[in-house]
Structure 1
Amino acid sequence: MIEEILPPGAVAAESLGDAPLGTLAPGEGLLPEEEPLVAHAVPARRAEFTTVRVCARRALSRLGRPPAPVTADGRGAPRWPAGVIGSLTHCTGYRAAALALDSPRLRSLGVDAEPHRPLPDGILETIALPAERRALTALSRRHPAHSWDRVLFSAKESVFKAWYPLTGEQLAFEEAELSLSPTDPRTGTFEARLLRPGPTVDGHPLTTFTGRWLLRKGLVLTAVAVNAEQNAWQ
């Protein structure tokens, strides 16, 4: 599903549940470098972590790359093999990895998956700017069956995941203003305008991120990709 909203050159692997350990091909399960990251995790967290790494290695294979460990930095962001960019996501009933070869056409990826249901009470006020909340109200009048607050949250998560590899810094929810544009009731695009100075990508200042969203099988899926030639992919 998530490949539908990725740009050309990016690949993905996804799972609607955790992979039974006995069904994994050699090299797909946890590698020694990854084991310490879940050494003390509860079984559910270990299964989730393993399945996301299985997705990552399947995506690496689609790029023509050999299996490789996907460890994490001090903030939990994935560390990819040299020459590869990517993003991981997981939520209840869904795990995915989106990868691409690092090139001027693709410098960073961010993907996110969320359950398609309203955010818990009080969360929207902490993650959305006043203009964003007004826009969500208008969207809800047009398409009342959709949880637009969750779409906004997921889109911001994708932006943050694309931002972090370029800067090594976190981006606060209030530091990017998003606008959502439906193409039809279940898919569309979004743009995030940075409200703080952005990084310079191959000599070009990055001021906006653009991406796509999709509602499918009870999920909200979003994706952002940074293009060094146009600053952001549409």
Structure 2
Amino acid sequence: MVVLVVATATDPASIGPAAAFLAMPGWSPGPPIPEGMESFTNGNVRLLKHERSIIAEDDLDLRWQEATGEVVSEIIFLSKHTAVSNRPALTVHPIGVPHLREDETPPQGGRPGWAALTNPRIGPWLRLMQKVAADQGLVPEFEITLEATHHGPLTSTPTMFVEIGSTEEYWGRQDAAQAIALVLWKGLGLEDGNAVGTWLGNGEKVLLGIGGGHYAPRHMDIVGLMNWLFLRARAV
């Protein structure tokens, strides 16, 4: 099984971290795939680059398996983050729009009432991101935060978004891109073989968060204090 990391060339906060990730050792050209996409391989990690909107890339895990024969165990999307505060930020979050009624139209992909399987790395990677950002000198300028579910695309595989926010000035910041690349490098075990947040199913404690607003500050406080896997936050 493979981990699929997805980036789009149309988003500087997506392609920047992808380029920094690819600059690390061990990469080779990935399997040929259709649809004008480019792929790279490093161990069990596959980096996929395309030029379309990430939130419109429904069923990318199933399409990858059909094209390559490789089963996807999880998806990590790289993307920009926007906020009315315009504050620089690094964020992680699950995806889905479970709060919408069937007659409502999702503004940013997904399906009303649907939520993706949540990538269990979210809690551990939030803590890893806090450490990497501090080590790289991004704190306190950048806020490190957790978001609730709020958009698509549709997937059938445990999924998470890793983002840089919150304006164009920060989306293209090389130091922020390098920090995200380091989170990927360390978190997926490419640095030393010790991945962070891998789900083993051996009784690990799991936190299911409901409510708390878009940034779910109480959930984030608990995740920061406890060595738990974090499955979902959804504002209600």
Query: Does the TM-score normalized on the shorter chain lie above 0.5?
Result: no
TM interval, shorter chain, is: under 0.3
Q: TM-score, normalised by structure 2?
A: 0.28
- More strand per residue: 1
